[in-house]
Amino acid sequence: MLLRTPRFSPGLCRSKSKTHPYGMLYGGLAVFPGLGEDRNKRLKRSNGARKRFTLLDFAHRFRYVIKTTHTKGTMRLLSRLASALYRFLQLRSSRLVFPPLGAILLLAQSAPNEAAFAADISWASTPPLRVVIHKARQVLAVYEGARLIKTYRVSLGLEPVGPKTETGDRRTPEGEYFICSKSASSSFHRFLGISYPGELDAMRAFEDGQISLETRNAIIRSAKEGRTPPWNTKLGGWVGIHGYPTEGNQKRWVSLLYPKPHNWTNGCIALWDSEIEELYEILPVGTPVTILP
């Protein structure tokens, strides 16, 4: 038998961790016979067994890599090495009881900086969703990071060319916004409010004399805090992504006269009810929305 059945000793791990930053790891690996001995003692105890020496030498080399590696991505590398070590040892002994998850947890606990470890595994987190609307193509695209998930044909305002600048111009805004509110009881089935007017809209309107300094500051402050901006200004408001009207007669006539992709809104982005239901479920408040010309 190449290895004895490992016995995990919490006390051993604690005593090791007091004197060495990788003590928890050393304590965990100490369950393998011979890791705490020098080369001559191991050779004597193994009676010259070449396979046993090769196995222990591999384990010592693995421990040396852990001790000397301090670059970005360290924990990712160590997790892979832990899995490789486990598979290697498992092939050498049918009595080995040391799950790969336990090895990875030992490595994580031995990390000298938990904040650095959290930053290293941020690559594994799910990328946030974002929405990109192409007005010229009348397409709404949903992305997960850089990956395109799905596209929808949309209806826009009755005046689709140019950015929205004031109340009643029936134009769809252009710029960088975010979903600032959600409503399931909208008169247009579902409503995802867009944070128009944004910072650039407010600054441009203030320079043109459309709004006061107080209104400009309120819009900018709302954008920075991730809240719904004032929707009762001269710039207009209540712009969002929604479905078709919920009222019976109105829904029937709008659906017949203005099916997608015919433009019919006052500046909002409209989809079929089934499509806005999909977006309503997956897009949380705060989702970035980019509206391109």
Domain termination residue (choose one: 75, 90, 124): 124
CA distances from 282 to 243, 276, 287 (A): 16, 10, 10
Residues 99 and 169 in one domain: no
214-258 confidence digits (pLDDT tens): 999 999 999 999 999 999 999 999 999 999 998 888 888 888 888
Encode pLDDT of 83-132 as tens digits. 666 566 655 544 444 444 444 444 444 444 444 444 444 444 567 999 99
Residues 177 and 82 in one domain: no
The larger pLDDT score, comparing residue 97 to residue 153, is at: 153
Tell whether 248 and 137 lie within a shared domain. Answer: yes
Flag whether 287 is in a domain.
Answer: yes
Query: What is the sign, positive or negative, of the torsion defined by CA atoms of 241, 243, 244, 248?
Result: negative
In a domain? residue 2: no
Last residue in a domain, options 107, 124, 141? 124
- Please check the confidence at residue 192 and state whether its pLDDT lies above 60: yes
The pLDDT value given to residue 148: 95
77 occurs within a structural domain: yes
Question: Which pLDDT belongs to residue 108?
Answer: 45
If asked whether residues 100 and 241 sit together in one domain, one would say: no
What is the rounded average pLDDT of the residues 246-272? 88
> Does residue 144 lie in a domain region?
yes
Whether residue 200 sits in one domain with residue 57:
no
User: Comparing 81 with 179, which gets the higher pLDDT?
Assistant: 179
- The whole-angstrom separation of Cα 256 and Cα 250 is 10
Domain count, the chain: 2
For residue 209, the number of C-alpha atoms closer than 13 Å in the C-beta half-sphere is: 0
142 lies in the same domain as 113:
no
* 3-class secondary structure, 212: coil
Which residues are CB-contacts of 143 (< 8 A; sequence separation ≥ 6)? 129, 130, 131, 132, 149
**Domain extent at residue 230:** 129-292
**Cα(43)–Cα(11) distance, rounded to whole angstroms?**
28
Of 19 and 180, more confident: 180
Residue 170 pLDDT greater than 60, yes or no: yes
pLDDT band at 292 (very low <50, low <70, confident <90, very high): very high
Check if the beta carbon of residue 276 is closer than 8 Å to that of residue 242.
yes
- Check if the beta carbon of residue 204 is closer than 8 Å to that of residue 196: no
Which CATH number do you get for residue 160? 2.40.440.10
* Same domain assignment for residues 106 and 135: no
**CB-based contacts of 104: which residues, under 8 Å, 6+ apart?**
79, 82, 83
Least confident of 14-28, 78-92, 151-165: 14-28
pLDDT value, residue 29: 43
